[in-house]
Structure formats: C-alpha cells, structure tokens
A and B are shown apart, each in its own frame.
Chain A
C-alpha cells in the first residue's frame, strides 16, 4: 500500500519520537512554550509536536504518586485526540492514520511507558514546581507524532488549536507548516488559537 510505504518513510525521516537528537526546541526549554510542525504532502499530513512535559501534565519528573500517574494517563488520552487538539476543516477529510506519543527527558533517550518509576526516583520527592529552572536534568519533554490521511489537502487552510483548552498549562506553540503552497510559520497562543495557513 502506498500509505504504508509512506508511513515508513515518515518514520525513518522524522525519527519517530526519538529524543536523542538535539532539536531547536530542546535548546530552549521554556515552560508553556512548545513547537508544532506539520508537513502536508500529497494526501498526507504529518504533525509533530514537542512540548515541555509541564505544559501537558503539570510536572516534569517521573510520576511517583497515583495522582501523577493518572495525570499522565489523562494527558496521553488527550494527546490521542488530534482532531480536538488541532482541529482542521472538515472539508479536508483528514483521518488519523497513526499516533505516537512519547514522554522523556531532554537529552536522555528513553521512551515512557509508565514503568520507569524506579528510575530517577530520588530527584522527584521534593521536587516543587518552582525549582525547575535550577534542576536542568529533570526537564522533560513530550513529543507526539501524528500521521493523517486527508482526502483534500488543499482544504487544509486553518487549524484551530483546541490544544490550549485541553492543557491549561500550555501557553504558546511555535507553528511551522510546510505544504505545496509554501512554508508558513507563526505562533498560536491562548488568545489566538487559530492559525491560518496561507
């Protein structure tokens, strides 16, 4: 199938949700600020977001309490609904083909599967919200990768970021969209949730 080949290409090229590579957004870890990258080609769209974990789950250490684990599960559930987070025009007829969600520390290389409680536990107990800045090592990032199959990509002219409603800690996303029409870039935030693709 064409789409599966395509998916394979997308995965190898984007590197899935690997954290090993240094990326621009990883350089500037700033709570509330994440990146949203989307590439539209042929009848597919690939979205990759990279956001400080704080924006999504409210903390950046390995979850230790039940409440924290619940928060993580909730976040994962919310992240699995891209049509709510990044609402696109119905006319584009986009269907979700693949979703990958990863929680991990910037700089480290690990995939989160909820089974890493032992790991780095010492750092977590007295880890308040306020001393994140000092504690570089425990910064972690959430990455999500979505593959959409669209009937009519030309109709993809705007995205409404329900993302900000889903994640109250999120403040801003740097948006880059590459499509046949060209490259567009900008910011969306809480007050300005709609990105118009030129």
Chain B
C-alpha cells in the first residue's frame, strides 16, 4: 500500500471537510483567473477599439478626453473645429485620408455621428479589421443612414426602415427632426466596439436637420420642406473631430506638431494608440486593485487550508500514532500531511480551472453581446499555469505547518489519547 493511497484514503475519510476546502480553493482560483481573463480581455478589446488611424484631430483638449469623445463617444467635446481648419488639415500633403466626425444628435439614446462614407472605408478595429456591412450599403443620399449592429438589434431596425433623428444627446428627447426622416441603407456587422452603438449619417445631413433650428430650438413657423433643403448649401460650419490617415507613418510626429501649433485655432492631434495606453494606465490602477483583491482571496483560501489541516491533525493524532507504532517515521508522517495538503491544493487548482472554463463557455456569448467584451477561450497560458503552480506549491508549503507539528509531537502523545 503506497503512501499516496494512504493519504488519499485518509482524505476520503474526511471528504466533507476536504471537499469544502477544495471548493474554497477552487472558487478563489476561479475568481482570480476570471478576473485576470476579464482584465486582459477588457484591455485587449479596449486597445482594439481603433487601429489604422494615425491621428485624431480635435479642438484643444487633453488626449484622453479627445479619445473618449471621438472614439468611445463618452462625454462631449468642449469645442468643435471650424470647417476651414478641417479643410486646411485635409489639404496637407502628408494626409492620405481624413474622415470627419460630427457629434451632437441622438436617436433613441444612441449617438448620431455625422461623417462621410470614408468612415466605413478607413475605420479599423481589432488589428486592422475593416468595418463590414451585415446588410445594405454605405451612405449615398442626403437622408441615408447606416446603423451599428447594437442599434439594429436593440431597436429592431432593418434596411429600408425610416427613422427620426433628434437634436441633442439626451435619451428619448424625440421632439426632434421628425419632418426629415432617414432611411436605413446599411447595417454594420458587429465589431464589439462603440461603432456598434451609433447611427451614422452624412455630414451634410447634420446640417440639413438643423437648417430650421437656431440656438437649440426650432424657429417658430419656419419649416423648410425636404425638397428645398436638398437644394440648399449644406456645407458644414464645424466638425467635432477628424480621423486622419497619413501616407507615411514617418511623418506622424511632424504632422502632430503641425496640428498642435496650428495658429488659426487651438487644436490637438493625438496618437490614438498612445492615448489608449494613457487611458489604460488610468484604468490600470483599479484593474490592479481588482487583481490584488482576488489574490487576497487565494491567500485566504490557503489560510483556510492550513486551518483545516491543523484542525484535522487534532482528530488524527491517534491515526498518526498507529502509523508511528507500525514503523512510520516522523518524516513519513510529515510527508503524508504535506502530500495531503498538496493534493487538496492541486484538486482545488484543477477544479478552479474547470470552473473557469465552464464560466467562460457559458458567459462568453453574453459578455460579447451585452458588453462588447470578447473573451478568447484558449488553453491556459503561461501566467495561468504559473498561478496554478503557485497555488499547489503554496498548498504544499501550507502542509509544512501541520507536518512540523506532527513531527515534533512525540509518539507517546498520540498513544495516550483516552477517548
């Protein structure tokens, strides 16, 4: 009969406490690993929000702020860029393409983005992935609109539907531009980025819906019919921001300098990748705190393991004594206890891993559809394995404490249990 079998049988004898301990460790391991997965998943999908754009130009602002409103559509621009400045920038010879973004309107809680068809052509996410139309085509007519996947799904829109765009970004402020309905010409495929949660119209369309508005309110009695609007000059006066692609990457820093020092208007050009990492380093603090907390949970579970082992040691003094009386050395007893503790930790770690994958498989679609957080399910990486290894090693180390106590305890002590 091997020592391992002895350890296993002894454990089996105390299976209730053992299973609870294993469960405790498993859950803490699951917690830690899933926090890590969420963390890296969030970071990745965050970093994947925009790619392929060399610079984003907006009114003078902090780079994180500009990134937030132009890409994540969080918060509002303090200022817009004049159309003249936009034209000026667009005319630079370094510029390969430029896509304007005009914000300020909403449709049933979703932001309306005034832009050009170039947006669908040049916007990239997740390592240079292009936007794709799940249905329909790009903007063509003045009153065409393309909607993001989430918008289409949440509001049940299909290509050909007519929708009304309202002024202001407030939710449900539908007292809007109802005389100028838009026709859905395209629905974008899901990207898992804020692109999914917006309604896209042409830059001129933004002007068009505002021609009979002034200072945020409809001018009384002034209702310009759609047909007349079509014939008006709809050149925009401002845009909120612009995405810029350069012909050569090498000119990036110089171009950035040019924009930042642009005389006619205070402007800011940001490198989206740099701004993303700045933003992430802000979020990173919370993220690290989360990791720290889940690490503490693992430590707690391991302390629980030590406690359980020490408590069980008390009831097992006699068992130890019988083994000792039958030739087991104190060292053997220590090994037995350490092995047991290691086994518990190993079982906990493996079970935790199993839980993690169970969770991933069940929650992945939900996270993807509800939060745009796409978690890849792949084999445990080096970091996961390291954590599992540490848990098992810590479990073995935890076994040293009761093992040491058992080692020190004399045989006579175990023999003289009277009850």
Contacts and interface: CB of A to CB of B under 8 A. Distances in A.
Given A181-B127, A182-B127, A184-B277, A14 B254 contact: yes
A10 B277 contact: no
B278 interface: yes
B257 A13 contact: no
Interface in B49-87: 51-52, 54
Nearest to A187: B281
Interface string A15-41: 100000111000000000000010111
Nearest to A21: B257
A9 interface: yes
B182 to A, nearest CB: 34
A40 B274 CA distance: 16
Most-contacted residue by chain A among B51, B248, B278 (CB, 10 A): B248
A41 B272 CA distance: 18
Nearest to B248: A41
A92 interface: no
A14 B251 CA distance: 7
A93 interface: no
B271 interface: yes
B154 interface: no
A40 B278 CA distance: 21
A178 B254 contact: no
**What does DSSP make chain B's interface, helix, strand, loop or mixed?**
helix
A181 B273 CA distance: 11
A39 B257 contact: no
**What does DSSP make chain A's interface, helix, strand, loop or mixed?**
strand
Contact of B250 (A39, A180, A182, A183): A39
A176 interface: yes
A184 B277 CA distance: 7
Contacts of A14: 250, 253-254
A78 interface: no
Chain A contact-residue range equals 20 to 34
Contacts of B252: 39, 178
Contact of B51 (A23, A48, A182): A182
A22 B261 contact: yes
Nearest to A181: B127
B250 A41 contact: yes
A166 B272 CA distance: 32
B259 to A, nearest CB: 12
Contacts of A13: 94, 248, 250-251, 254
Interface string B234-277: 00000000000000111111100100010000000001111001
Contact of B277 (A15, A39, A40, A185): A185
A186 interface: yes
A40 B248 CA distance: 10
A129 to B, nearest CB: 31
A85 B250 CA distance: 22
B127 A10 contact: no
A185 B249 contact: no
A46 B272 CA distance: 20
A183 B273 contact: yes
A131 B94 CA distance: 43
Interface of B: 47, 51-52, 54, 94, 127, 248-254, 257, 261, 271-274, 277-278
User: 9 tightest A-B contacts by CB?
Assistant: A183-B273, A185-B274, A185-B277, A41-B249, A13-B254, A13-B251, A39-B250, A178-B249, A183-B271
Given A39-B250, A182-B52, A184-B277, 14 more contacts: A9-B248, A9-B250, A10-B250, A13-B250, A21-B257, A22-B261, A41-B249, A41-B250, A178-B54, A178-B273, A180-B249, A182-B51, A183-B271, A186-B277
27 contacts: A9-B248, A9-B250, A10-B250, A13-B94, A13-B250, A13-B251, A14-B250, A14-B254, A21-B257, A21-B261, A22-B261, A23-B257, A37-B253, A39-B252, A41-B249, A46-B250, A48-B253, A176-B274, A178-B54, A178-B252, A180-B249, A181-B127, A183-B271, A183-B272, A184-B277, A185-B273, A186-B277
